[in-house]
Amino acid sequence: MLVLEPIIILASPRSFTSLVCAMLGQHPQAYGVPEINLFVTTSLEQLVNYSKKQRSFMIHGLLRTVAQLYGGEQTRQTVEMAHRWINRRLHSTTADVYQELCHYVSPLRIVDKSPAYSKNQRVLESIKTTFPHAHYLYLTRHPREQGKSVMKAPQAIGTLIAADSVDYDTIPPTIDPQYAWYRRQEKILNFLQTIPPSQQMFLRGEDLCNDPAFYLEKICRWLNFDWNENIYQTMLKTEDSPYSCMGPWGAQWGNNPGFQQSPAFRYKKIKPSSLEGKLPWRNDEKGFIPEVIKLCLELGYG
């Protein structure tokens, strides 16, 4: 059987990735998964070790996916089965495991939104090597709104410090998510220079939310997916994804917590955000650095 290669969403965290993945995953020719994070490491054993203790959430998406695919539901029992499934493959490469999942869902195409992929050039190159014909949806969100959303996360400070998203020109240094946003976009854009134009699409998340019919059709045409009114209405029902909810104990996460708690798409016009003025997460009067403003203008943000 022909194994169709995945659709990878490349984006910073908190950039509509859970919503867009759920929309695409509702298409009858696709299978949207939570954050399976497989390419973060080279082997499955490394991923299991990496996800111990404070990073346990890193493997929740994979556990939920295996439980749903091979057990037909997500319960404590099927999550235990998923642990056994993983343990039998500990010495497999994560690329082999990913290909196995692609084969299992075939003829559907996996839609994967794991934000950790675009943090590391090695990870992106590994995806390209494993799946030379994968499609990449580059999804953005205005850095002001993305930064506000990031700062609401319980682990925000630790995550941003780990990413060195810090302004060292202040005393004491200031945690500022714009630096992480900028570096992430740079990595994605540099990687996409190596990808054929036919295999990539750029999309501002705000545009999709404001005009879902136009942009979902555009995405489907790009992917050579079927398109009609029934499919469009199905794609809007993001709450129908088996991953648009809290998972069972031991595998609760895999998507943005806010999305899991309120997964239904409710149309609400998103107003343009400004590149000027004080940033709400700072205690001084500083705004965006010139590099962020320049890149935003290139991406179509005014």
Cβ–Cβ under 8 Å, residues 188 and 138: yes
Give me the pLDDT at residue 148, please: 96
What stretches in the chain show pLDDT beneath 70? 1-2, 53-54
What is the rounded CA–CA span in Å between residue 131 and residue 211? 31
Closest-CA residue to 7 (of 188, 182, 131): 131
Read off the pLDDT of residues 137-153 as tens digits, 9 standing for 90 and up: 999 999 999 999 999 98
Give me the pLDDT at residue 54, please: 64
Give me the pLDDT at residue 1, please: 56
Give me the pLDDT at residue 2, please: 66
Tokens representing 48 are 């299991």
Read off the pLDDT of residues 222-251 as tens digits, 9 standing for 90 and up: 999 999 999 999 999 999 999 999 999 999
What sign does the dihedral 60-63-68-71 (CA atoms) show?
A: negative
Domains of the chain by start residue, with CATH: 7-141+196-269 (3.40.50.300)
Tokens representing 246 are 């809290």
Give me the pLDDT at residue 302, please: 82
3-state secondary structure of 174: strand
What is the rounded CA–CA span in Å between residue 301 and residue 56? 36
Distance of CA 241 to the CA centre of its chain: 15
Residue by residue, DSSP assigns 235-254 as HH-GGGSTTSS---TT---S
Give me the pLDDT at residue 13, please: 93
Give me the pLDDT at residue 156, please: 87
What sign does the dihedral 212-217-219-225 (CA atoms) show?
A: positive
Closest-CA residue to 245 (of 255, 235, 233): 255
